[in-house]
Amino acid sequence: MKKSILSAAAFAAVAVSAVAVAPTTSEAIPSFARQTGAACLSCHFQTFPAVNSFGRAFKLGAFTDVGEQALIEDEALSLPSVLNASFVLRAQYTNTRTTTGATTVGTTAWGVPADAVLLMAGRVGSNTGAFVEYDAGAANWQLLNFIDFGGIKGGLNIQNTGFGPTAAIEISNVFGQHGGKLNGKQVSSVEQILNKGNVVSGGQSTSVAAWAGNESFLLQVGGVALADATTVTSPSFVPLVRAAYIASLGDAELMIGGGLISGTQTATAGAWGANAMFLDLQAQGEMGDMSYGVYADFTTTKAKTANGVATNIFSAGNGKADGNSIRLEVKPTHALMLGVGVGSVKTTPAAGLSTKRTQTQVAVSYEIYQNMEINTFYLNDDDKTAGTKTKTLFAEVEALF
């Protein structure tokens, strides 16, 4: 078996240290943990789905690392002896109150279950791995490949997900696939503008990206179909460049990143300009027995001429859309997490008045096991232009097994 980023011995050592501080050992661990033989917190920072340095290394190795799990190997064949799969089950309660002037409308919703999703993920071959989220169809999927050039790895990845346009190989915990702990990416400007603000796809994107990286940096260059390729006939691919630099500052780990998307998105119903730039920053570390994470981003987009018309795929008003956010997440004990965050988005349409929306959030999470949590948050969504405030109280039990 070829050497991987982390040997089985390294994974075992990390697993022992992670389990030692857990409230109880986790017997029913998801697919990656089954494949590597390491506890969930070996690869995740504070809690799922944020990643630490081991998690980033595992991803740059295309999810191929294994521990003691047996492999079936032959010429051009290297598969785990069993299919590593996980099942995600969520039960949710949501109470929403929307106030416009003197009128308040409240709604209550129960989701039991809210999600029941099958995850199949892990090693496909010695240098290839995959992630598939199956919810009556391949709702999210990624196919990752790598070549080891010594101190640097590189590869070619393909994705179709709702995790954002950079999801072919994203390692940041600010937004996207890894930014979901404590509902954090809800206030992210990258998430609100580039993902949810996409007027064509509503968030789902397809991309192909070549990449290179190691423990200090990651660069991806590719094309992204901002129109959902699963529902739109022959969408074009817009050029995308994304880079991140990772360094240590004292006891903290810093990641500074940014990206550019610029081109014309063509799809069945026409063409849209795509012109966006974003910056993101994260700092993760420990203070005594407490771990912390600070996450921030800034996003700006503007109209770009497509077929002679100035349009912006990231803004319904075809003008500018700008935003920023910052949030703090701390874990004072091995089981309890607290988070606060604020984000704002300002839209200036080509015609009409500007709009500004601010979101503030407080969140709490309690980890029963490494793969089971109780999550709750309070979100205040203030649309200052429309004079509308929406207050949401949310509670959830999430289990991955």
Give the pLDDT score at 197.
Answer: 87
Quote the CA–CA distance of 119 and 134 in Å, as a whole number. 6
Task: Confirm whether 3 is domain-assigned.
Answer: no
Q: Please tell me the predicted confidence (pLDDT) of residue 309.
A: 87
Give, in order, the Cα–Cα distances in Å from 186 to each of 71, 176, 323: 40, 10, 13
Q: Is residue 1 part of a domain?
A: no
Q: What pLDDT does residue 16 have?
A: 33
DSSP letters, 321-351, are EEEEEEEEEEESSSSEEEEEEEEEEEEE-SS
78 lies in some domain = yes
What tokens were used for 1? 């078996």
Q: From CA 203, how far away is CA 192, in angstroms rounded?
A: 9
User: What's the pLDDT at 5?
Assistant: 36
pLDDT score recorded for residue 351:
80
The per-residue pLDDT for 135 is 81
Rounded to whole angstroms, the Cα distance separating 178 from 35 reads 20
- What residue numbers bound the domain in which 108 lies? 8-400
Convert the pLDDT of each residue in 71-87 to its tens digit. 999 999 999 999 899 99
Residue 123 domain flag? yes
CA–CA distance from 255 to each of 104, 245, 296 (Å)?
Answer: 42, 6, 11
Number of domains in the chain: 1
User: By CB neighbour count within 10 A (0-12 exposed, 13-18 middle, 19+ buried), where does 251 fall?
Assistant: exposed
Residue among 333, 362, 359, 337 at smallest CA distance from 346 = 359
Q: Identify whether 2 is part of a domain.
A: no
pLDDT of 3 reads 36
80, 122 Cβ separation under 8 angstroms:
yes
In a domain, 207, yes or no: yes
Write down the pTM of the prediction.
0.89
Amino acid at 248: S
User: Which residues, 6 or more positions from 355, have their beta carbon under 8 angstroms from its beta carbon?
Assistant: 346, 347, 349, 383, 384, 385, 386
3-state helix, strand, coil in the chain (%, to 5): 10, 55, 30
Could you write out the DSSP letters of every residue in 197-265?
T-TTTTT-EEEEEEEEE-SSEEEEEEEEESS-TTTSSS---EEEEEEEEEEEETTEEEEEEEEEEEEEE
How far apart are alpha carbons 95 and 169 in whole angstroms? 35
Residue numbers in the chain where pLDDT is lower than 50: 1-29
Q: Residue 134: how many CB atoms within 10 A of its CB? A: 15
- Which tokens go with 180? 């979901």
CA angle in degrees (0–180, nearest 5) for 282-288-289: 90
* pLDDT confidence of residue 10: 39
Instruction: Supply the pLDDT for residue 219.
Output: 98
Please give the pLDDT value at position 226.
92
Residue 200's pLDDT is 85
Give the CATH number, domain containing residue 387: 2.40.160
Residue of 171, 228, 169 lying closest to 195 (CA atoms): 228
Q: Which single residue is written with the structure tokens 């509902």?
A: 183
The answer to whether residue 276 is domain-embedded is yes
For 5-63, the pLDDT digits (tens) are 333 333 333 333 333 332 222 223 478 888 998 888 889 999 889 999 999 999 999 99
Residue 271 within any structural domain of the chain: yes
